[in-house]
Amino acid sequence: MTIKRIGINGEGVGYYKRKAVFIDGAITDEVVKAKITKVERAYLQAELVEIEKRSPDRQKPPCPVYELCGGCQLQHMTYEAQLKAKEEIVREAFSRYADRRELPLRPIYGMEEPWHYRNKAQLQLGWQQDKLVAGLYAANSHKLIDISECTVQEQPINEAYKALKQLMRELDIEPYDERTRSGSVKTIVVRVAKASGKLQVTFVTATDRLPQQRQLVEQIRTHLPQVVTIAHNIHKERSSVIFGAKTVILWGEERLPETLGSVQFALSPRAFFQLNPTQTVKLYDAVKEAAALSGHELVVDAYCGTGTISLWLAEKAREVRGVELIAEAVQDARSNAQFSGIDNALFYEGKAEELIPRWVQQGTRPDVIVVDPPRTGLDAALIQAVLQAKPKRFVYVSCNPSTLAKDCRELLAEGYELEWVQPVDMFPQTAHVEAVILMVRK
Ligand code: SAH
């Protein structure tokens, strides 16, 4: 069959008797042979067997463990083709879920250098024969894939893991083994501050104590002078989340300082922060452009996380109110505001779909509402509150074009117009696509 487009998970999509067929690794316009592996009512899943007509966009994946790891989905395509595919994913979502065939779609913001951009890694530790490995478990398996030469992680992170593994070996610190329940270190989390090159290292252990703690700290300070924080998190339970409840700072600063534009952040080991700082600046600048602030506006930033968008906009607003579900993130948002000397950004803990409708009921009328929800999109109660509050500008930041388009459909039917859609490539080499849209009240 002929591949018609790239689907939301990076797979090639073709049609067989009018049914969609999803084929991992196939590229638009290629003619391929594939073997059906799964039959569903609405679609077929198939495995690529042979490429009869090869796309000029196909390239050899630079990463040696691309197929095994599963963290990236588009390394077999040139970067230019990846960007084009992401624009088409957004276009397709609006056509399918918002009935909009004509879309004010702007060219995607890509990266000049689409490699080594990720500022944080959380790698599992384990033995592969007599080699200590830091990596990721392959999808649905117990096989640890060594990603010590990861092509999307910042290079200082790769180098830090190399040094940390070496130190663990020298000090005989064992990785945790789930089967035998022996050893200690489950995960090492390394974060780098783009502005300064400083590193934050967190050891997650299955044991109360981090073995050889004193020597380990000393050695890290000697061999990795860029490290400013060494933290220890205890996570005894067996679960898919990385962190346990308790974190202690073993040495150094409690928070990693980071700068984006003119805004300062201080990141505690567990704080959420965008993973691609270079593209985050472009994303937030698109939000700023969409908000078009003059200094008099009341802005609501829903799903604000650690307050990054609020702080980005505060300088040009009368007041910004951030709303966030997770208490720790709200604390971080407040300290980031203080740290940056911003006093007109206030942060509220709660559900956006509860707090914002309540404010609107009480008569609050924001001039601009910005939302940046999780993949599931907006709650119906929040959409209703927006329609009732009638902000002049509604700015939607989304990591899921399908829910974005569905939510937009409702606003488009109720007096809003779509001014523009700006896709941003936050995660080159993967199928993820982020978009900022501006809606204006008619
Ligand atoms: N705008 C931020 C973070 C966006 S991630 C940034 O750019 O960094 C989405 C955030 O929404 C997360 O921090 C998550 O904790 C929060 N969240 C999820 N459900 C929520 C809800 N119902 N109400 C408010 N916040 C929510």
* Domain pair 1-58 / 120-260, same fold: yes
> Residue 183 and residue 202: Cα distance in Å, rounded?
17
268-302 burial by CB neighbour count: b if 16+ within 10 A, else e? bbbbebbbbbebbbbbbbbbbebbebeeebbbbbb
CA of 322 to the centre of ligand 1 (A): 10
- How many CA atoms does the CB half-sphere of 291 hold within 13 Å? 32
CA distance 92 to 86: 10
Catalytic residue among 69, 72, 399, 408: 399
- Check residue 250 and give its pLDDT: 97
Q: Say which CATH class 276-441 falls into.
A: alpha beta
Tell me: the pLDDT tens digits for 322-340?
A: 999 989 889 999 999 998 9
Q: Enumerate residue ranges in the chain where pLDDT < 50.
A: none
Q: Can you tell me which residue has the tokens 């067996």?
A: 238
Rounded Cα distance between 418 and 435, Å, is 13
Residue 201 near residue 227 (C-beta atoms within 8 A)? yes
pTM: 0.94
Q: What is the pLDDT of residue 129?
A: 87
What is the rounded distance in angstroms from the CA atom of residue 94 to the CA atom of residue 103? 8
Q: What's residue 328's pLDDT?
A: 85
Contact assessment for residue 344 and residue 317, using Cβ atoms and an 8 Å cutoff: yes
Residue 122 annotated as part of some ligand binding site: no
How far from chain centre, in Å, is Cα 356?
25
Cα–Cα distance measured from residue 93 to residue 423, given in angstroms and rounded to the nearest whole number: 12
Q: Which two tokens mark 427?
A: 């995660």
- Any catalytic annotation for residue 399? yes
- Give 222-277 pLDDT, tens digit per residue: 999 999 999 999 999 888 889 999 999 999 999 999 999 888 898 989 888 999 99
pLDDT of residue 271: 85
Taking the centre of ligand 1 as the mean of its atom positions, its distance from the CA of residue 433, in whole angstroms, is 17
Distance between CA atoms of residues 344 and 311, nearest Å: 9
- The residue extents of the domains of the chain are 1-58, 120-260, 276-441
Q: What share of the chain is helix, strand, coil (3-state, %, to 5)?
A: 25, 35, 40
Q: Using alpha carbons only, what angle is made at residue 317 by residues 394 and 194, rounded to the nearest 5 degrees? A: 90
Q: Is 434 annotated as a binding residue?
A: no
The residues lining ligand 1, judged by C-beta closer than 6 Å to any ligand atom, are 272, 274, 303-305, 308-309, 323-326, 329, 351-353, 372, 374
Class of domain 120-260: mainly beta
324 marked ligand binding residue:
yes
Q: Which phi and psi (to 5°) does residue 310 adopt?
A: -55, -45
Element (H, E) at 386: helix 380-389
Report the separation in Å between the CA atom of 325 and the middle of ligand 1, taken as the mean of its atom positions.
7
What is d(CA 159, CA 425) in angstroms, rounded to the nearest whole number? 25
Residue 60 and residue 65: Cα distance in Å, rounded? 12
What kind of fold does domain 1-58 have according to CATH? OB fold (Dihydrolipoamide Acetyltransferase, E2P) (2.40.50)
pLDDT at 133: 95
DSSP element (H, E) containing 380: helix 380-389
